Amino acid sequence: MLEDMERNQMQCRDFREFADSYLSDELLVETNHEVIKHLETCTDCRRELAARRDLRRKLRSGFESAPDLQLRKEVAGTATAQLRDVALSRAPLSAARYMAIAASLLIVAALGFIVVQQRWRVQRSAVLTASVVGDHRDCALNHRLDERPIDLHEAGSKYDRAYINLVNAVMSEDRLPAGVELVDAHSCVFKRRRFGHVILKYHGQVVSVLVTDIEAQDHPGSTGVTEAIADAQLDDFRLAYFETRRHAVFVVSGLSDAENLSIAQAIEPSVSRHIMDAERIADVRLKTYSQTDKL
Amino acid sequence: MFRFRRAKARREEWASFENEALPHRADLYRMAKWLLGDRDQAEDLVQETLLEALRSFHRFEKGTNCRAWLIKIMYHTLSKKRRSENRLRVVSDSEEQIAETVAFEPPTPENLTEQEVLDALKSLPQQFQEVVILSDVEDMTYKEIAEALSIPTGTVMSRLHRGRRLLRAELAVYANSLGIGRRTEVRATHAGRHGEESDAVS
């Protein structure tokens, strides 16, 4: 009898430990069954459970109805309006992300294009300037070209109209420094590249003005306007050059930077004008021929 | 076309937020006001919580407990605020020990008013108050409470156990002082919130 009572006491103590978890439905199924079984036989624990349930109800009800815990209606209205404004005006993150990615891709593509273009131009310029210097050295200075130079007029008729009257274009400018003398003019070939070559002499130095065709497709972005004069140094020679839509013009010599550049600046207006006229005439002829061919 | 679709998506999201989240604003405010005590601060906290919830509403899993999700955001917002204000509240050992000193489990008193129950709750250390409210008022599971408070589930369980026991002890002392306690011979040794000891005999 006493043993039974002690067992019952233990069960009541256990129940009090589990009662709240039982009310919260957080007990394991087996423990839940034991609690229910105990409740069927224990009046005190049933009362305790009812009291705890009532305590929770009062706690919840008191919390929900406490006057000092109520949100003011006018605040709720204003806050909702603010939230609605934010919700309906904000740009979705995903769209912003897409825009950022698209912008990044565009920038990368543009940079890539510029880098490729610049690299290509540098490579092309390196090959071209090497030919220019080679022609100046082998033709104007050492006279040892493999192929014999031909007359500019002949070359103009056969290969490139820009060569016709090139000498006049070079020498027509009054801006040429005093003391510049014409030595020779012809068309020559260095490493399969043809040049219109006007050879001058200034302060005892041989100066080459070299005009060569650069293919239209090798010249992206050109608008037909003469590019700015730039200069560089290669193999102890000074180079100054400028370009038109389809031609590059070089001034090469052993002069000082300023002297070499001053010759390039002096001839640039008339030579550019002359070459661009020749390019226009060539374009018209090409168009005429193609129309004739169609007919 | 894309702009129209975006506007439509925003309207739909707002409608969904209005239906799912906004009905819990009053609950959030009660919790915030209880925790902070100040009306303006509580209103600010609730609005910040809802703004944050709106921004991350796409992460809310439909069909789960939205109130628990919002309360979790509110606790994180509050925690961030306290950190930024350098007012992180550290739970002292003594507060944890107080609960351990309740040696006797008194019967739960009856015939008390809602206000008396709330007053008793207020007298508990805050970490016990909040778990009791989150569980017994907000009906959150142990797991949801653990996520909201960023504490282990085991800590939630032990705090709840101690918090409820403390609450009952507090109420028993009060009921006995009014002569309305249960007619059970109890002797509770209870160290109150401020560390004083009191004996209660009914």
- B11 interaction partners in chain A (CB closer than 8 Å): 88
User: To the nearest whole angstrom, how far is the Cα of A44 from the nearest Cα of chain B?
Assistant: 10
Residue-wise pLDDT for B14-53, tens only, equals 899 999 999 999 999 999 999 999 999 999 999 999 999 9
Same domain? B133 vs B68: no
A14 touches chain B (CB under 8 A): no
Same domain? B36 vs B72: yes
B115 touches chain A (CB under 8 A): yes
The enclosing domain of B97 has a CATH number of 1.10.10.10
Domain topology for A110-294: Phosphorylase Kinase; domain 1 (3.30.200)
- A48 interaction partners in chain B (CB closer than 8 Å): 107-108
Same domain? B99 vs B79: no
Same domain? B17 vs B57: yes
Q: Taking the alpha carbons of A108, A113, A114, A119 in that order, is the dihedral positive or negative? A: positive
Dig out the tokens for A31 from the structure: 């423990």
The shortest CB-CB distance from A62 to any of B6, B54, B114 is to: B114
The residue among B24, B70, B12 whose CA lies nearest residue A88 is: B12
User: To the nearest whole angstrom, how far is the Cα of A14 from the nearest Cα of chain B?
Assistant: 12
Residue-wise pLDDT for A98-152, tens only, equals 667 677 777 777 766 565 555 555 556 777 888 888 999 999 998 888 888 999 9
Q: Are B111 and B180 in contact (CB under 8 A)?
A: yes
The number of folded domains in chain B is 2
Closest CA in chain A for residue B26: A71
What size, in residues, is chain A? 295
Same domain? B192 vs B133: yes
Of B84, B114, B129, the last residue of a domain is B84
- Express as a percent the part of chain A with pLDDT over 90: 21
Same domain? B9 vs B72: yes
Q: Are A275 and A162 in contact (CB under 8 A)?
A: yes
> What does pTM read for this prediction?
0.52
* pLDDT for B175: 81
Computed over every residue of chain A, the mean pLDDT equals 80
- Chain-centroid distance of CA B53 in Å reads 19
Q: Which whole number is the average pLDDT over B70-99?
A: 68
Judged by CB atoms closer than 8 Å, whether chains meet at B136 and A59 is answered as yes
Q: Which whole number is the average pLDDT over B118-131?
A: 92
- B158 interaction partners in chain A (CB closer than 8 Å): none
B window 179-198, beta carbon within 8 A of A: 182
The residue among B162, B132, B52, B184 whose CA lies nearest residue A60 is: B132
- Residue B162: in which H helix or E strand, if any? helix B153-178
Q: Which whole number is the average pLDDT over A153-161?
A: 89
Q: Is the pLDDT of residue B139 over 80?
A: yes
HEC string for A196-215:
EEEEEEECCEEEEEEEEECC
The enclosing domain of B63 has a CATH number of 1.10.1740.10
Residue written as tokens 């022609």? Answer: A135
ipTM: 0.77
Same domain? B20 vs B116: no
CA A208/CA A60 separation, integer angstroms? 101
Domain span at residue B134 reads: 93-201
Q: Give the count of beta carbons closer than 10 Å to the beta carbon of residue B172.
A: 26
Going from N- to C-terminal start, the domains of chain A cover 2-70, 110-294
User: To the nearest whole angstrom, how far is the Cα of B29 from the nearest Cα of chain A?
Assistant: 6
User: To the nearest whole angstrom, how far is the Cα of A10 from the nearest Cα of chain B?
Assistant: 14
B128 touches chain A (CB under 8 A): no
The residue among B22, B5, B111 whose CA lies nearest residue A80 is: B22
The shortest CB-CB distance from B17 to any of A48, A63, A87 is to: A87
Instruction: Using only the alpha carbons of chain A, give its radius of gyration.
Output: 47
Same domain? B70 vs B110: no
